A and B are shown apart, each in its own frame.
Chain A
Amino acid sequence: MEIAALGIDVGSTTVKMVAVNRAGALVWDYLEPVAPRVSRQVDDFLAKLGAKIGSLAEIPLVATGYGRNLVQQARQSKTEISCHAHGVFQELGHGGTLIDIGGQDSKVIVIGARGRILDFAMNDKCAAGTGRFLENSAARMQIPVAEMGAVALTATEEFTITSTCTVFAESEIISLLAQGVAVEPILMGLHRALVKRVAAMVRSVGLVPPLLLSGGVVKNPAIRKVIADETGEEVFVPTHPQLMGALGAALFALKLAD
């Protein structure tokens, strides 16, 4: 396996690391929940990769994500906005409006035809437009997060969740369940509530089609469907949506290798 550069995305929920070859293609990746001691966790990541391919000393590493400044091994750090845009542009080969929904924030990034960021907006003050909103709700409803989307899509009706706050939404779920409302319509309403927050951000920057998605949350099929519903746009999702930040970081690292 040829590795020319490495990227690491230290998110609020998971840490993702990828390796790319000289052509910028993703050749290795690893993901696990973020640990409190990020630097040690990165050491473990590098040791795992080193065990496979030998010395990594000369291979440049760029860090991104919420904990990027904790990665002492990185030669450079870049914001997740630049990295997600770079990764998605490389993967999909065109610009557009990228929605990235992460565990604890969400972003909307307008990417130009040549991969340049033209504008962006970020929600980082409220959990209601992020993966945390679904995680909390999933816990309350005792449904695994990974299954939430599929279950929601079986709903034949939808309950409107009026609260846009994660904490109040949880109270609302409890109240609806107590009234005997079925799980599926509540779930669909939760997906809609999350997406409406993100759609407002899209409107604030102005949607430039096509609509691109990244982040772990977009693996959820109901999120993809509701985003398409709310925006009226077909959505394009890279093969590894959760790794786009790390991929972008690796691509920046590749420039350092040159």
Chain B
Amino acid sequence: MPINIPQRKAVIQDIKSRGGMVAAVLPIHYPRALLRAFNIFPVEVWGPPRVDVSLGGSQLQSYVCAIVQNALSFIKMGALEIADLILIPHTCDSLQGLTSLLIDMVKPPSPVFPLYLPRGRREEDVIFLAEELQSLYAGLAELTGRRPTDAELLAAIAREELCDQLSGRLYEQRQTLGLGNLDFYRLLRSREYLPAEEFAALAESALAVEAAPLPGTPLLLSGILPEPMMVLDLIEEMKGLVVADDFAGCGRRLYRPGLSPEPFRRLAESLVAAPPDPTRGNAIGDRVQFLVEMAAKTYARGVIFYEVKFCEPELFDLPELRAALKERGLVSLHIEVDINNPLPQQTATRIGAFLEMLNH
């Protein structure tokens, strides 16, 4: 069933026409609800394609990933001037470097807010993040002249928690939604720019469908994001079915609600307890356990690590992670892609061979 998902540009124009503010948000983890409480609508920037990468390349090393290269190029092109602010979580050294570049050198017209994320799941990490979120609140209050109350913050949190829950249900009902690989991820990824209310409505309408289980060899995908998305069609053409993922932009953001009634702590608890992620310093052992359990639950027969070239947090873990998965009986394939280029024929061969291997 085709899903009618509004286009990003139209969504931004609509937000602006209704007096809303837009935050351009770089990957990965950030408090959507905190922004929304200020009537700021987050629109994520995951290395938009079709940009002149030489603009970013003049200030970044060639081994910085395309997500960061493209984001800098995009900003230098003036394409983010529509945003009222730019929020950059400290996801990796490259994104931290981008924050410094923007603040010290590029100086875009919109203010740049860094967000420092803790590298662990301990109580002190929750405390640190809650304080960091309070500082972000102070910055946004200064920018907007508003000071949302705790009740307003909690209402925004409730809306986003509902979306998190609906995203989780989309994964649970993945095989009976009647959605092919590409449509499923188009729907999931629409949350990168849709307001919570609109995403919730779309997700609920998709969840209302109960179709016959989709055929195909069940696969689990891991990496930063399914981009170029043509890989999803390619997998389907080769009779593979993506049943779950560990993408930083998708499955690793299936946040559970926090427990605290205090809004900042509740947000921090939720972000800190998210699925294991190398960008947050989670141990490889935790990732192995998570992937093995996910594969068992979804009957995935193999993992494809679909990695953005030069993504250090991902690639540093990979040899050890794959070896540990192999020991646990879960085979994997590693594909590195440049998100600016179409998929080469060789990628099709690798995926085809992997599926042949699984089905032998």
Contacts and interface: CB of A to CB of B under 8 A. Distances in A.
Interface in B289-327: 319, 323, 326
Contact of B319 (A66, A122, A204): A204
Nearest to B332: A119
Contact of B326 (A81, A82, A105, A119): A119
A170 interface: no
A66 B345 CA distance: 8
A148 B331 CA distance: 39
A118 B356 CA distance: 11
B283 to A, nearest CB: 22
Contact of B350 (A117, A119, A122): A122
A82 B357 contact: yes
A79 B349 CA distance: 6
Interface string B317-360: 00100010010000100000000000011100110110011001
Nearest to B354: A120
B341 to A, nearest CB: 11
Nearest to B333: A120
B356 A125 contact: no
B316 to A, nearest CB: 15
Interface string A190-201: 000000000000
A105 B350 CA distance: 12
A130 B353 CA distance: 19
A82 B356 contact: yes
Interface residues of B, number: 14
B292 to A, nearest CB: 17
A119 B356 contact: no
Interface in A113-130: 116-120, 122, 124-125
A32 B318 CA distance: 40
A240 interface: no
A78 interface: yes
A119 B356 CA distance: 11
A184 B360 CA distance: 45
B346 A124 contact: yes
Contacts of B360: 82, 116-117
B349 A81 contact: yes
B137 to A, nearest CB: 46
B349 A119 contact: no
A82 B353 contact: yes
A102 to B, nearest CB: 12
B9 to A, nearest CB: 34
A91 interface: no
Contacts of A9: none
Q: How many A residues are at the interface, by size bracket?
A: 10 to 19
A80 B357 contact: no
Contact of A79 (B319, B323, B326, B356): B356
Contacts of B353: 79-82, 117, 120, 122
A66 B346 CA distance: 8
Contact of B331 (A119, A122, A125, A204): A119
Interface string B76-118: 0000000000000000000000000000000000000000000
Contacts of B331: 118-119
A175 B349 CA distance: 37
Nearest to A107: B353
A60 B235 CA distance: 26
Interface string B136-180: 000000000000000000000000000000000000000000000
B352 A79 contact: yes
Contact of A125 (B323, B346, B349, B357): B346
Nearest to B356: A82
Contact of A120 (B344, B345, B357): B357
Nearest to B351: A79
A124 to B, nearest CB: 4
Contacts of B326: 119
Contacts of A117: 353, 356-357, 360
A103 B356 CA distance: 23
Most buried by A among B323, B326, B356: B356
Interface of B: 319, 323, 326, 331, 344-346, 349-350, 352-353, 356-357, 360
Given A117-B356, A206-B323, 4 more contacts: A80-B349, A117-B353, A120-B357, A204-B319
> Which 4 residue pairs spanning A and B have beta carbons closest together?
A81-B353, A124-B346, A79-B353, A117-B357
30 contacts: A66-B345, A66-B349, A78-B356, A79-B349, A79-B352, A79-B353, A80-B349, A80-B353, A81-B349, A81-B353, A82-B356, A82-B357, A105-B346, A116-B360, A117-B353, A117-B356, A117-B357, A117-B360, A118-B331, A118-B357, A119-B331, A120-B353, A122-B346, A122-B353, A124-B344, A124-B346, A124-B349, A125-B346, A204-B319, A206-B323
